[in-house]
């Protein structure tokens, strides 16, 4: 794109419409032109280069994590926050089609725009509009999730009826009179009732908490003294039929089966489920997953390890920060949930060790002072 074409486009942008042609010519001639191929990345979220860009032709997609935020076309600009805050990129930018952009460096921004009140007001208006749009999208998403949680709660009602029928059947199978003997399969039926009851109770709690959160109702976070060994065994048994765990061996290494923790059992079970299923997904067929619990005198240390393919180097910077997933049917929220439960709810720590081609171990701690 030649200089006159750039000037014509810049003159019609809110950011530079008030500049005279001479100033626009200086800017157009001094700023670097960047050409992007279709799907070529301009910058990644978290990168540190400081510059803003004006789209001259084509389209650029802005995304945070796996979610697309906006598509910008000719005359629109991006990256201005890195110049205002001097911080890393808050989102990623990639060309939707072949695109041409004009790069405004920090020096050029300070020389031409930072000293011009009208330019700063234009940037403020753009930022305000984007924030308003983001808030509207977030509110709409929250409404959808609230409706979804409400509908799930309604679907749990028939389970309550089924639970009652099973309990009646359990009583009959045990025998209604003192001389009656238990029917064959009573223990299996008793186990089924226990699994259904626990699963329903967990779903009830999660949906109720979700609805309370959406209504901004404060819910007390309840921790009770809980035996660690039965909780882990119950978790492993409950997810053993998961498609990522079929054919895999899960070994439990527990130094002391009498350890108790003052924890929210449902949430710690969720953490274990996520980490064990992730290990199963990363493991080869008939692979071994080890769940280890020990203490160093200060903390209870949990480790879930596999001998799978390890975490790719390009993924590591985004773990615990964004909804990143390597599963085709995943959404990337599992590790974010684990981090919140362990570090914010239980004042512990969550981290990992991983070597590509050798496997991964996720570790988390529960402080003894809040666990005994």
Domain range enclosing 98? 3-115
Of the residues 219, 240, 269, the one at which a domain ends: 219
Burial 72-100 (b: 16+ CB within 10 A, else e): bebbbbbbbbbbeeeeebebbbbbbeebb
What pTM does this model have?
Answer: 0.60
Q: Tens digit of pLDDT for each residue in 229-263?
A: 999 999 998 898 899 998 899 999 987 777 888 89
pLDDT for the residue 131: 78
The answer on 192 and 60 residing in a single domain is no
In which element (H, E) is residue 95 found? strand 92-95
Domain boundary among 219, 252, 274: 219
Same-domain pairing of 300 and 341:
yes
What are the C-alpha distances in Å from 220 to residues 163, 212, 345?
Answer: 27, 11, 11
Domain co-membership, 15 together with 72: yes
Contact 96, 44 (CB under 8 A): no
Smallest Cα–Cα separation from 42: which of 61, 58, 64, 29?
A: 61
Let me know if residue 144 belongs to a domain.
yes
Does residue 19 belong to any structural domain of this protein? Answer: yes
155 in the same domain as 66: no
Give yes or no: residues 236 and 178 share one domain.
no
Confidence at residue 323, expressed as pLDDT on a 0 to 100 scale: 53
Residue 124 domain-assigned? Answer: no
Let me know whether 228 and 366 are in one domain: yes
CATH number of the domain bearing residue 322: 3.30.565.10
Confirm whether 331 is domain-assigned.
Answer: yes
208 and 244 fall within a common domain: no
> Per residue in 264-311, pLDDT tens?
999 999 999 999 999 999 998 889 999 999 988 788 999 999 999 898
Kindly state whether residues 236 and 295 are assigned to the same domain: yes
234 and 357 both lie in a single domain: yes
Distance CA(223)–CA(370), nearest Å, equals: 10
| 122 domain residue, yes or no | no
Pair (250, 348) in one structural domain:
yes
What DSSP assignment string belongs to 205-265?
HHHHHHHHHHTT-------EEEEHHHHHHHHHHHHTTSTTTTT-EEEEEES-TT-EEEE-H
Question: How large is the C-alpha radius of gyration of the chain?
Answer: 28
**Shared domain check, 242 and 173:** no
The tally of domains found in the chain comes to 3
Per-residue pLDDT tens digits of the chain, which is 372 residues long: 789 999 899 888 888 888 888 888 988 898 999 999 999 999 988 887 889 899 999 999 999 877 888 899 999 989 888 888 777 788 899 999 999 999 999 888 888 777 778 877 877 888 787 778 777 877 777 787 777 777 787 777 777 777 788 888 888 887 777 767 777 778 888 888 888 888 888 888 888 877 777 777 777 888 999 999 999 999 998 898 899 998 899 999 987 777 888 899 999 999 999 999 999 999 988 899 999 999 887 889 999 999 998 988 878 877 876 555 555 554 457 888 899 999 999 999 999 999 998 999 999 999 875 444
Residues 18 and 47 in one domain: yes
Domain stop point among 51, 82, 115: 115
What is the DSSP code string of 33-94? EEEE-TT-EEE-TT----EEEEEEES-EEEEETTEEEEEE-TT-EE-HHHHHH----SSEEE
Whether 129 is covered by a domain: the verdict is: no
Structural domain contains residue 293:
yes
């Amino acid at each position: 794109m030649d200089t006159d074409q750039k000037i014509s486009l810049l003159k019609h942008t809110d950011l530079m419409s008030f500049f005279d042609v001479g100033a626009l010519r200086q800017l157009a001639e001094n700023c670097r032109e960047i050409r992007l191929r279709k799907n070529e990345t301009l910058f990644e979220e978290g990168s540190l280069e400081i510059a803003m860009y004006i789209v001259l032709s084509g389209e650029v997609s802005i995304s945070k994590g796996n979610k697309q935020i906006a598509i910008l076309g000719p005359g629109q600009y991006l990256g201005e926050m890195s110049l205002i805050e001097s911080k890393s990129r808050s989102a990623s930018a990639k060309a939707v089609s072949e695109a041409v952009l004009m790069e405004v460096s920090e020096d050029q921004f300070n020389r031409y725009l930072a000293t011009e009140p009208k330019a700063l007001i234009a940037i403020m208006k753009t930022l305000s509009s984007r924030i308003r749009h983001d808030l509207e999208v977030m509110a709409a998403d929250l409404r959808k999730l609230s409706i979804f949680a409400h509908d799930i709660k309604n679907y749990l009602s028939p389970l309550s009826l089924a639970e009652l029928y099973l309990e009646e059947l359990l009583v009959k199978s045990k025998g209604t009179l003192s001389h009656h003997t238990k029917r064959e399969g009573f223990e299996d039926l008793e186990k089924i009732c226990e699994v259904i009851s626990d699963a329903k109770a967990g779903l009830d709690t999660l949906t109720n908490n979700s609805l309370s959160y959406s209504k901004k109702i404060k819910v007390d976070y309840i921790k009770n003294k809980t035996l660690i060994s039965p909780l882990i065994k119950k978790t492993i048994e409950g997810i053993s039929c998961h498609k990522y765990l079929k054919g895999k061996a899960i070994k439990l290494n527990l130094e002391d089966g009498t350890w108790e923790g003052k924890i929210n059992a449902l949430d710690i079970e969720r953490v274990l489920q996520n980490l064990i299923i992730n290990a199963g997904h990363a493991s080869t067929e008939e692979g071994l997953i080890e769940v280890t619990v020990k203490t160093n005198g200060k903390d209870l240390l949990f480790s879930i390890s596999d001998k799978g393919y390890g975490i790719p180097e390009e993924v590591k910077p985004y773990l615990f920060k964004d909804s990143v997933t390597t599963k085709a049917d995943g959404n990337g929220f599992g590790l974010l949930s684990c981090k919140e439960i362990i570090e914010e709810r239980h004042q512990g720590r969550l981290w990992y060790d991983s070597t590509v081609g050798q496997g991964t171990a996720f570790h988390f701690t529960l402080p003894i002072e809040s666990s005994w």
